Amino acid sequence: MRKSLPIFTLALVLMALSTAAFADAESVAAPSGVVNINAADATQLSLLPRVGPKVAERIIEYRKENGPFRKTSDLMQVKGIGVKTYELLAPHIVIDGKTTLSSKVRSPRKPRAQKPTTTASN
């Protein structure tokens, strides 16, 4: 019992330190703020994840043709924004208020699938 107590204590301390390190890394990675999709210009809309200059222009064009968005989910009516993209955007968009997002939000990337290895059969 005496030998296992220091090992257990060391393992517990290491777990606590590694958890704190991961928590700090996550909080730095995600910029905070929101974009008002009814008032933002193309530059501000481009700060959103998965939104580049072309999609930003489509959002503005949709707004000009159809008026202001009534709810954030109306953004899915814009070409190029589907359910998956909307789910990434939802925490960062509002329909009224001030745009407070000041840096580009990067969407998480999926790890690349490894190509199957082929062996030469002679």
Measured distance CA(76)–CA(96) in Å, rounded: 17
- pLDDT value of residue 106: 87
The answer on pLDDT for 109 being more than 50 is: yes
* Residues in a beta bridge with 93: 35
Taking 50 as the threshold, does the pLDDT of residue 98 lie above it? Answer: yes
Distance of alpha carbon 87 from the chain centroid: 9
pLDDT digits (tens, 9 = 90+) for 16-59: 766 665 554 444 556 789 999 999 999 999 999 999 999 999 99
- Measured CA to CA, the distance from residue 39 to residue 95 in angstroms comes to 8
Mean pLDDT of 86-102: 95
**For residues 4-8, average pLDDT:** 71
Q: How confident is the model at residue 119 (pLDDT cuts 50, 70, 90)?
A: low
Would you list the domain boundaries of the chain? 41-94
- Looking at domain 41-94, which CATH architecture does it have? Orthogonal Bundle (1.10)
Q: What integer pLDDT is reported at residue 32 of this predicted model?
A: 86
Q: Which two tokens stand for residue 3?
A: 């030998």
